[in-house]
Amino acid sequence: MKDPKSDANDVGMYISREKIHPREVDGPFQRLRYLAVFVLLGIYYGIPWLQWDGRQAVLFDLPSRQFHIFALTFWPQDFVYLALLLIVAALSLFFFTALAGRLWCGYACPQTVWTEAFIWMERITEGNRQKRLKLDKSPWTREKLLRRGSKHLLWIVFALFTGFTFVGYFTPILELGQGLMQLSLGFWEWFWLLFYSLATWGNAGFLREQVCIYMCPYARFQSAMFDRNTLIISYDEERGEPRGGRARRVDPKAQGLGDCIDCNLCVQACPTGIDIREGLQYECIACAACIDACNGVMDKMEYPRGLIRYSTENAMAGKPARILRPRVLAYGVLLLAVLSGITYSLTQRIPLSVEVLADRNVVYREVDWETIENVYTVRILNKDREAHTYEISVDGLPGIEALVSDEPVRVSAASTDSVVVRVRVPRSALDGPGNPFQLTLQSTADPAVKTVNTARFNGPRE
Amino acid sequence: MRASSRWLRILGGTLWPSFLAATAACVVFFVNIDPETLRMQTLPAWEIGRGTGYAIGFFMFWAVALLSSMLTLVLIDGGPRSQS
Ligand code: SF4
Ligand code: SF4
């Protein structure tokens, strides 16, 4: 009988890395993973093709500094939403990690998703695990050349399409497609297309689990979010050991054996090449392939399933397991709070932003002895998708009035304009420099589109 | 295979984190500063589009972060070993 330790060593230790060919397995988790791959890739490749109101539904238009996401348009002024989005992403990661470990790694990480897709292509060209292992060792025959060649062809086409789609989030994808057909893309479009394709091809085709082991920051600090109640993939050592081969209908107890038949299928199925029976390891991305593999074996042996299963450290130690704990609840509540805050502020968003800049050269001007004047430049950003005419009014100091150059103030859709506003206040209402007043901009068509800015009015020092 | 895995470590430990840092820096920088304004104020004679501006900014950030990552690597690898 083979020593499982030595076997695990030459498969699992990264120092003597051989290419890992995970064995294909079938089972509920594997199907869930396929579903995740399908849905996530579908979203990635599909979204740029959607249209909305006569333009691309999701377009990060960097040249004109606007992000379109369906009905919403974001401007650099809306940076706070991006920041909030990152907070949501971080909180979700904390939440799901505390709950069930590296769910992200196993099902949703682009590294995993594209690796799955690339392995699938490897499988249809080079065959299943045994065939691939054999092919790796075989000399360069015609067949090997053909199989390898078609694999790389598939990979490259797929990677190029991935890069193309990526650039399609930033340049209208229909134009991009045409430009590609006519080979008339700009330098940077070519560059980013190839850059992203190359990254996809390298990461999903070659680096694979090494990205998780050497390059992934999340893999390094995820353990900080774990506790003894986090769901992890674990091997039930008490039930499985001592492991060993046996005939099908033999009672293992009579032979002094545990339930593990030492078939090594769990090791062969593992995309990172580790042996889960040695306990939770840093390399494990919680993909649950070993669970499916082992359950298949258990079914054949007519043993109960779940020798390898999702469990918690506490449950394994026979202590009561608690899934909903303060930590998980806290992350969950925070997440909900930020999400509802974002939603609320999005519904309240006013498609108008205004800056009031005082004239820096002339602090104030005396129109006549009674009246003091300050001049402001009002910069109006109409974030709406239609033009607006605005009314400017001032308020907050007795007798204050505004004279607006070129009324009416009309700003076309999604653009900026500046107007000069001369504000006059009676000397008697002023108290030296820096008197606050309010400048209001309101759309004549839609009174809800309104902003109030506070500015300062400078008068003479008494 | 040891050597290739060492190389992976070096590249994975420098190129990649500096890429992440550069992306973040690039986003924060260009949200607040329009490359077009920057060009007008510094090199008005040059014809640089926004796209090129973003790319130049990105590679500058990447280069700086890469330098820092490589220094870190040198300091960690070459220094006296800790007791453990
Ligand atoms: S040990 Fe199991 S869950 Fe972990 S990576 Fe390997 S197959 Fe996936
Ligand atoms: S698949 Fe199950 S039975 Fe087979 S070696 Fe792994 S733990 Fe043991």
Gap from CA of A108 to ligand 2 centroid (Å):
26
Q: pLDDT category, B3, cuts 50, 70, 90? A: low
Q: For A54-100, how does the pLDDT look when each residue is reduced to its tens digit (9 = 90+)?
A: 889 999 988 888 889 988 888 888 888 888 999 999 999 999 888 88
Average pLDDT over residues A260-264: 91
Structure tokens of B47?
């014809």
Inter-chain CB proximity B12 and A15 less than 8 Å: no
Is the interface score ipTM higher than 0.90? no
Could you tell me which chain A residue has the CA closest to the CA of B33? A76
Inter-chain CB proximity B13 and A210 less than 8 Å: no
pLDDT of residue B4: 67
Could you tell me which chain A residue has the CA closest to the CA of B14? A215
3-state secondary structure of A376: strand
Kindly state the percentage of chain A with pLDDT values over 90: 49
* Residue A453 dihedral angles phi and psi, to the nearest 5°: -115, 145
Q: Measure in Å the smallest separation between the Cα of A205 and chain B Cα atoms.
A: 15
Cβ contacts of A186 on chain B, cutoff 8 Å: 51
pLDDT of residue B83: 46
pLDDT of residue A313: 84
Cα angle A79, A85, A89 (rounded to 5 degrees) comes to 150
Catalogue all structural domains in chain A, each as residue range(s) with its CATH number. Answer: 15-349 (no CATH), 352-457 (2.60.40.10)
Domain ranges of chain B: 9-76
CA distance linking residue A266 with residue A292, whole number of Å: 8
* Residue A264 dihedral angles phi and psi, to the nearest 5°: 70, 10
Cβ contacts of A14 on chain B, cutoff 8 Å: 5
Ligand nearest to the CA of A252: 2
pLDDT of residue A220: 85
CA distance linking residue A458 with residue A363, whole number of Å: 7
* Residue B13 dihedral angles phi and psi, to the nearest 5°: -90, -5
Could you tell me which chain A residue has the CA closest to the CA of B15? A215
Dump strand ranges (E) for A359-414: 365-366, 371-382, 388-395, 401-404, 409-411
User: Is the CB of residue A265 below 6 angstroms from any atom belonging to ligand 1?
Assistant: no
pLDDT of residue B81: 56
Structure tokens of A47?
């979204």
Inter-chain CB proximity A214 and B8 less than 8 Å: yes
Nearest Cα to Cα of residue B66 among B12, B28, B5, B29: B12
> Which of B4, B8, B54 has the highest number of chain A CBs within 10 A, making it the mutation to test binding with A?
B8
Please check whether residue B12 touches A, CB under 8 A: yes
Residues with CB under 6 A from ligand 2: A 240, 243, 260-266, 277, 293-294, 297, 307-308
Ligand nearest to the CA of A282: 1
For residue A45, pLDDT over 90 is answered with yes
Inter-chain CB proximity B5 and A17 less than 8 Å: yes
Inter-chain CB proximity A76 and B17 less than 8 Å: no
Kindly state the percentage of chain A with pLDDT values over 70: 96
For residue A14, pLDDT over 80 is answered with no
Inter-chain CB proximity A76 and B8 less than 8 Å: no
- Cβ pair A325, A229 in contact under 8 A: yes
Residues 42-61 (B) with a CB less than 8 A from some CB of A: 49-52, 54-55
For residue A456, pLDDT over 50 is answered with yes
Q: For A364-412, how does the pLDDT look when each residue is reduced to its tens digit (9 = 90+)?
A: 888 888 899 999 999 998 888 888 999 999 999 999 999 988 778 899 8
pLDDT of residue A7: 40
CA distance linking residue A304 with residue A239, whole number of Å: 11
For residue A3, pLDDT over 60 is answered with no
- Cβ pair A439, A378 in contact under 8 A: yes
For residue A151, pLDDT over 60 is answered with yes
pTM (2 decimals)?
0.83
pLDDT of residue B1: 43
Inter-chain CB proximity A188 and B52 less than 8 Å: yes
Q: Which residues pair with A410 in a beta bridge?
A: A389
For the ranges A102-106, A306-310, B42-46, the lowest mean pLDDT is seen at B42-46
For residue A324, pLDDT over 90 is answered with no
* Pairing of the two strands A55-56 and A72-74: unpaired
Please state the separation of Cα A49 from the chain's center in Å.
19
Q: Which residues lie closer than 8 Å to A85 by C-beta, 6 or more apart?
A: A342
Q: Measure in Å the smallest separation between the Cα of B39 and chain A Cα atoms.
A: 14
pLDDT of residue A20: 87
Average pLDDT over residues A155-166: 96
What ranges in chain B are assigned the alpha helix state H?
Answer: 2-32, 35-42, 50-78
Average pLDDT over residues A317-343: 88
